Amino acid sequence: MTDRLTSEAAALDASHAATDRRDRFLLPDGVVYLDGNSLGALPRHVPDAVADVVTNQWGRDLVESWNTHGWWQAPAAVGDRVGRIVGAAPGQVVVGDSTSVRLHQSLHAAAALRPDRHVVLTDPDSFPTDLYVLAGVASQVGWAVEKVVPDKMAKRLATSDDVAAVLVSHVDYRTGRLWDLPAITAAAHDAGALVVWDLCHSAGAVPVGLDEHRVDLAVGCTYKFLNGGPGAPAYGYVAYRHQAAAPNVLAGWHGHAQPFAMERDYRPAPGIERMRTGTAPMLSLLALDAALDVFDDVEVASVRARSLSLTRFLRVCLEELVPDVDVVSPSKDERRGSQVAVRHEAAYGVVRAMAGRGVVGDFRTPDVVRLGVAAPYLTHADMLTAARAYADVLASGEHLDAGWSQRSTVT
């Protein structure tokens, strides 16, 4: 069986050779890294790019770098680069702050754009930050929060005209379920509601098509499939048609129409620049800018094709090598993001034992082994290695070792 799977992996890797970008990343030898949906790997050229920012721009040119090196324009310029990846024309994405801040801004903007409606829908299984931020904004604007599974939202939206906005994560962070962005967006619009999409687990892995599908607002982090680095700044998208009326509830001087006039009263800048707040974290922003070079010569649709082949093959390997494996990620390509999640009662021990064998995944409470597939730097041979590690850990009982009983704060 394993000889056949080895041959199949080699054939699949040969057929997808055009999208193999592993040589552009710094990865430890002997490690299969399946946690890129938590923290993307380091693009090989980023250290030199950051060293130039520190040594030459900051170190030599000092404050003049805001002008001579384009620091002031960077939040919108890098935003346009992210925009290309998520299907947004220039002038609709700005980078800076955290996903929580961007989500707070977007939800307040939605409330202002739909002032006579007082219900917001969201997925009960969304990432906790989304639920926390939404609860806070709802208390501030007077929304009632209704938790509805995304594939039932269209039915709920059709029942009344009280929904102001819908907040959905494009990909379920635990199971990897990919929700139907075009259909949910259309259903929200048919009901007169706005839609806010969280793209944290899809940007850079799944074609999004924000403009194509007339999404209203979107947010996302850049340290997962975009490989921006730990704590890399997040981004916010506001469609052109909403920008003039969308307020920035976190108004700061960088979002002012004339920031260096130092006026006492706030006047929002035109366009997406109004969604800027304070000074962006330039070192991490420019590290992200360099990291995005990885996508310069590859379309997200091609990355998606590679990802689907990798996750499909990983599932095949798990099902052939592990009796009664409980794969909870969707088997259908159109419903699956870029990960394969497996349920096991001792999931934490499984994840730690696999890491001991050089296969790095992660654990999600209460019982999910999450194997994230960052397609540019992974191969089908890696998928087979991961499945073998999973099978060997269970067969040996390593996951039950007492040494794995103390959970770390991260995984």
In order, the DSSP letters of 52-116 are: HIIIIIIIIIGGGHHHHT-TTTHHHHHHHHHHHHHT--TTSEEE-S-HHHHHHHHHHHHHHHSTT
Q: What values do phi and psi take at 374, rounded to 5? A: -85, 100
Q: Give the tens place of pLDDT for each residue, 94-125.
A: 999 999 999 999 999 999 999 999 999 999 99
**What fold, for 2-30+298-396?**
Aspartate Aminotransferase, domain 1 (3.90.1150)
Do residues 386 and 32 lie in contact, with contact meaning Cβ atoms separated by under 8 Å?
yes
Of the pLDDT bands very low, low, confident and very high (cuts 50, 70, 90), residue 406 is low
Query: Is 223 noted as a catalytic residue in this protein?
Result: yes
Active-site pick, 13, 35, 198, 216: 198
Query: Is 370 noted as a catalytic residue in this protein?
Result: yes
Per-residue pLDDT, 405: 55
d(Cα 279, Cα 268) in Å, to the nearest integer? 16
Do residues 384 and 190 lie in contact, with contact meaning Cβ atoms separated by under 8 Å?
no
Do residues 277 and 248 lie in contact, with contact meaning Cβ atoms separated by under 8 Å?
yes
- The candidate with the shortest Cα–Cα distance to 58, out of 69, 42, 43, 44, is 69
Active-site pick, 61, 84, 127, 312: 127
From 2-11, 96-105, 197-206, 375-384, the region with the lowest mean pLDDT: 2-11
Nearby residues of 266 by Cβ (< 8 Å), 6 or more positions away:
251, 256
Active-site pick, 224, 276, 306, 352: 224
User: How is the chain split into domains, by residue range?
Assistant: 2-30+298-396, 48-295
Query: Is 241 noted as a catalytic residue in this protein?
Result: no
Per-residue pLDDT, 408: 54
CA torsion through residues 390, 395, 401, 405, sign? positive
Q: Give the tens place of pLDDT for each residue, 32-67.
A: 999 999 999 999 999 999 999 999 999 999 999 999
Query: Is 225 noted as a catalytic residue in this protein?
Result: no
Of the pLDDT bands very low, low, confident and very high (cuts 50, 70, 90), residue 410 is low
Of the pLDDT bands very low, low, confident and very high (cuts 50, 70, 90), residue 381 is very high
Query: Is 198 noted as a catalytic residue in this protein?
Result: yes
Active-site pick, 21, 274, 306, 370: 370
Mean pLDDT for the stretch of residues 283-288: 98
**Which helix (DSSP H) or strand (DSSP E) does residue 319 occupy?**
helix 300-321
Res. 204: pLDDT tops 70: yes
Q: Give the tens place of pLDDT for each residue, 222-256.
A: 999 999 999 999 999 999 999 999 999 999 999 99
Mean pLDDT, the chain, whole residue set: 96
CA distances from 318 to 395, 400, 405 (A): 13, 20, 24
Do residues 288 and 229 lie in contact, with contact meaning Cβ atoms separated by under 8 Å?
yes
What percent of the chain has a predicted confidence (pLDDT) above 90?
A: 96
d(Cα 359, Cα 373) in Å, to the nearest integer? 12
Q: Looking at the domain covering 48-295, what would its CATH class be?
A: alpha beta
**Is the pTM of the predicted complex or chain greater than 0.85?**
yes
Per-residue pLDDT, 160: 87
Active-site pick, 25, 173, 223, 390: 223
Of the pLDDT bands very low, low, confident and very high (cuts 50, 70, 90), residue 402 is confident
